[in-house]
Homo-oligomer: A and B are copies of this chain.
Amino acid sequence: MIETSEELYERCSKTKQASKRLGYLDTKTKNKALENIAQDLIEKKDAIISANKIDLEKATSSGMSPAMLDRLVLNEERLRAMSQDTLAVASLPDPVGEFFDVRTLPNGLIAGKKRVPLGVIAAIYESRPNVTIDVISLCLKSGNSTILRGGSEAINSNLALATLAREAISQAGIDEDNIQFIENTDRALVNKLLKMSDIIDLVIPRGGAGLIRFVKENATMPVITGGIGVCHTYVDKLADIDKAVAIAYNAKVQRPTVCNALDTLIVHKDIANDYLPAIARKWAEAGVEMRCDPTALEILKPIKGIKVIPTMPDDWGKEFLALVAAIKVVFSLDEAITHIERYGSGHSEAIVTEDYAAAKRFLNEVDAACVYVNASTRFTDGGQLGLGAEIGISTQKMHARGPMGLRELTSYKWIILGSGQIRP
């Protein structure tokens, strides 16, 4: 057990050292290690489930909510799903070693870029223990070493999973120090970790807004943040009403607790009288609480069977993560874009329209990780957009934006092949 910051540094130094070899390890060995992890998640399920039981008992006796408790549970079914996810990562193409932008220069030099891992990635996360295996498998496949620091509520589960993974990669001939689990959940040690910029190349916080802010403010190395999505769907005056109903319904109702779900529906005045009752009926059936601006309220209030309330002061720009939607009526595309610019979090924004010029302007002028025409914002997801898997969704502009898959966990180095060239 790590007790002091010196011990922490020493342990993480081992990971840095090990990462150098992992950086250019062949794909076959990395896949073998992933397959070992997948197999052990099935074969060693009893040990994992017992460790999880300890966390669950502690959580229950400390009065954790049923929803939170559910996120903590590891059972046979969930372990099987984790095992399958790990195999899925093994089956993805290895991004490391890919060559790109290669050209022969006039002087005969061949210059290009070769994809390489970032090095050591630290993940600081809360509650769900499956994140442990998620991060390990994505980092391993992309040639990165991992330092994991999970929350205290899942400490026994996380430790059991990390130990399993260390053994599994070791069986494949990979140094187990490429996976480092910080079993001491003292927050002061997190702060020390965030100052080790000589060891850690990237930190990824996964959890609530408080954790993300803490990491961002204290880390001395790059941080990829994201996951906070204040998402708008704008129904233009020339929208197809059926599409617009299906899209807004899906974006709000299909899974309301996630970052790419709809928060605010913006509707053009010219279509509001036809469109708003149609979507409101469907949303009402699904139990969506509708918080309306005065114009939307005026349209919807008289309709039988639909319950609407006025917007509250901070509803614009709020991520509801629940069956709640704010509704705003605008007089122009400009007004919609300005609203999104002011209140959006740069995550996912959609327009529904059959008007080519409106679609083009929206795509051009809205500044977000993912900008949609005529589709649900729920597609902002590495799996859905063809990346195979994702470690998170970045709302930053540097390095990677939007869903981050394996390739987004890499850097590159320039390779320059000469035959004696010197600079004139």
- Which residue numbers of A lie inside 8 Å of B, CB to CB? 20, 23-24, 103, 105, 109, 111, 114, 116, 118-119, 201-202, 217, 220, 222, 240, 242-243, 246-247, 249-251, 254, 341, 363-365, 367-376, 378-380, 384-386, 396-399, 401-403, 411-423
Contacts and interface: CB of A to CB of B under 8 A. Distances in A.
A254 B421 CA distance: 13
Contacts of A368: 413
A66 to B, nearest CB: 26
Contact of A202 (B251, B376, B379, B398): B398
19 contacts: A20-B341, A20-B367, A24-B364, A24-B365, A201-B398, A202-B398, A243-B419, A247-B422, A250-B423, A363-B415, A368-B413, A369-B413, A374-B420, A375-B417, A376-B421, A380-B414, A385-B414, A401-B414, A402-B414
Given A201-B397, A375-B418, 8 more contacts: A116-B397, A202-B398, A370-B413, A373-B418, A375-B422, A378-B422, A379-B421, A401-B413
B398 A411 contact: yes
Contact of A398 (B111, B398, B403, B413): B398
Contacts of A422: 246-247, 249-251, 254, 375-376, 378
A379 B109 contact: yes
Contacts of A363: 114, 415
A412 to B, nearest CB: 6
A378 B423 CA distance: 6
A245 to B, nearest CB: 10
A334 B220 CA distance: 32
A198 to B, nearest CB: 12
Given A118-B397, A222-B222, A254-B423, A111 B385 contact: yes
Nearest to A417: B373
A370 B416 CA distance: 7
Top-7 shortest CB links A-B: A375-B418, A250-B422, A397-B411, A243-B420, A378-B423, A370-B414, A374-B418
